[in-house]
Structure 1
Amino acid sequence: MGTYRVLLLDADDTLLNFKATEDETVRRVLHTLSLPADDVVVSRYSAINHALWLAFERGEIDKETISSVRFVRLFEEFGFRADGVRAGALYREYLGESAILLPDALEVCRALSKTHRLYIITNGIFQSQHSRIRKSGLAQWVSGVFVSEEAGAQKPSAAYFDYVFAHLSGVERREALIVGDSLTSDIKGGVNAGVDTCWFNPACLARPAGIAPTYEIHALTELFQIV
């Protein structure tokens, strides 16, 4: 308790409501291209996108592949005659215009910024993430944003966190806490980097074997009890 000087906060589904943003953005892209935007199509896009991001975390593909193939695959599955690469470009453009926060995110960051140095750690697309963080109001409460594109590595790799700590002057790893919703990215990343972790688990999911966060919270306000 009280031993952490720096909080490394994940962006999507920890501070920003990625699910709501994704649904809104995908529907906008489909409407722009005069394609069906029903729940079945949007849900299938989400599944394709999620699988691609997991492959990215494992180091199997790069972000450019994610951006270029996710709509191509979606359109092929549904037989849509449209340019999937163009759809991907529209998605990135529209995504940066949306900034839907999760409950308490702004208030918690505002309060914690008075006592801690806050940084956002994200595997997201550089331009979109910086735009969303700025539009959400989070930027004024954080000291910086570390995007995997700049690091040349992604969560959960130790190399990503080596980059982060190389840019945190005078901060030892025992003085930092990683907060995130993803066991495979944030929590595993902390384990790989030798940094304490806090699993943000608002859905109260069962904790799987093999990955052990230092802490677990179900609401962001519970951070005050830890730090």
Structure 2
Amino acid sequence: MITTVLWDVDGTLLDFAAAEKAAIRKLFEEYHLGECTDEMLLRYSGINKTYWERLERGEITKAEVLVGRFQEFFEQEGIDSAIASEFNQKYQICLGDTIVYHDNSFQIVKSLQGKVRQYVVSNGTIIAQTKKLNRSGLGALMDGIFLSEQIGAEKPNLEFFDKVFESIGEIDRNQTIIIGDSLTSDICGGNRAGIITCWYNPEKTEKREHVHVDYEITDLHEVYRILS
């Protein structure tokens, strides 16, 4: 019996790719950087992914991720990388301007209120996630919100989850599930924390990382079956 659900936000409850694309294109226009093509966005996304994975491995800091990814991207595209820090600050704000739910996630979370306890667990920045959760209405549906910047540790570190459970209070880890799209962050973190894991994999990506997945779903509506 599952009594507690830990939800990832970006790429799980919300379509992060859509928000990312809209935010970067808006800022390219604001900074008069020319057209940001799909090919450029794909290159940026690849760079961004490697930086977050390095953070998860403890190789770099969050600050180095946020600015470094844009510095590298701009240098590759022949853009003055001196604007990277300021660009990132505005980017964090713009990320919350585009809200696209995955699989009608708002209604799913709302329908589970009172049936299970629900919490957000995210490595996203306070600025970006606060705006997203407020504008999407998802924040108001949760029993609590845990952001790595506030906790002082990142998923998949056990310290992150220990602090979450310490804040929640009495909790049975055998009755707790984390639902997320990242094998390296959400699922690996769930393994370390000793809780049930549910990998949201709508693209049906092949599992390559050495992690244990209890459930794999391609649509968030499948969560009902797992919780029942």
Q: What residue is the counterpart of 1:79 in the other structure?
A: 78
- Counterpart residue type for residue 161 of structure 1: F
Matched, 1:145 2:140: no
- Counterpart residue type for residue 51 of structure 1: T
Q: What residue is the counterpart of 1:31 in the other structure?
A: 29
Tell me the C-alpha RMSD between the 2 structures. Answer: 1.3
Poorly superposed stretches of 4+, deviation over 3 Å:
none
- Counterpart residue type for residue 44 of structure 2: Y
Deviation at 1:218, TM superposition (A): 1.2
Q: What residue is the counterpart of 1:193 in the other structure?
A: 193
Q: What residue is the counterpart of 1:103 in the other structure?
A: 103
Supply the distance in 2 between the matched residues of 1:19 and 1:50 (Cα, whole angstroms): 12
Q: 8 Å contact 2:19–2:96 — kept in the other structure?
A: no
Q: What residue is the counterpart of 1:136 in the other structure?
A: 136
- Counterpart residue type for residue 49 of structure 2: H
- Counterpart residue type for residue 24 of structure 2: V
Tell me, what secondary structure is at the counterpart of 1:80?
Answer: coil
Deviation at 1:64, TM superposition (A): 1.0
- Counterpart residue type for residue 6 of structure 2: L
Deviation at 1:71, TM superposition (A): 1.7
1:12-45 per-position Cα deviation (integer Å, ceiling 9, x unaligned): 1110100111011111111111112112222221
Q: 8 Å contact 1:70–1:88 — kept in the other structure?
A: no
Supply the distance in 2 between the matched residues of 1:209 and 1:45 (Cα, whole angstroms): 22
- Counterpart residue type for residue 80 of structure 2: R
Q: What residue is the counterpart of 1:44 in the other structure?
A: 43
Q: 8 Å contact 2:184–2:209 — kept in the other structure?
A: no
After superposing the two structures, state which structure 1 stretch, 61-70 or 12-21, moved more. 61-70
TM-score after normalising by structure 1: 0.94
Tell me, what secondary structure is at the counterpart of 2:168?
Answer: coil
Which 5+ residue runs of structure 1 have no aligned equivalent? none
Tell me, what secondary structure is at the counterpart of 2:5?
Answer: strand
After superposing the two structures, state which structure 1 stretch, 98-107 or 123-132, moved more. 98-107
Where do 1:1-227 residues align within 5 Å?
3-36=1-34, 37-81=36-80, 83-208=83-208, 210-227=210-227
Q: 8 Å contact 2:7–2:179 — kept in the other structure?
A: yes
- Counterpart residue type for residue 8 of structure 1: L
Q: Percent identity?
A: 35
Supply the distance in 2 between the matched residues of 1:90 and 1:159 (Cα, whole angstroms): 30
Deviation at 1:99, TM superposition (A): 2.3
Supply the distance in 2 between the matched residues of 1:213 and 1:11 (Cα, whole angstroms): 19
Deviation at 1:100, TM superposition (A): 2.0
Paired residues in the alignment total 225
Which 5+ residue runs of structure 2 have no aligned equivalent? none
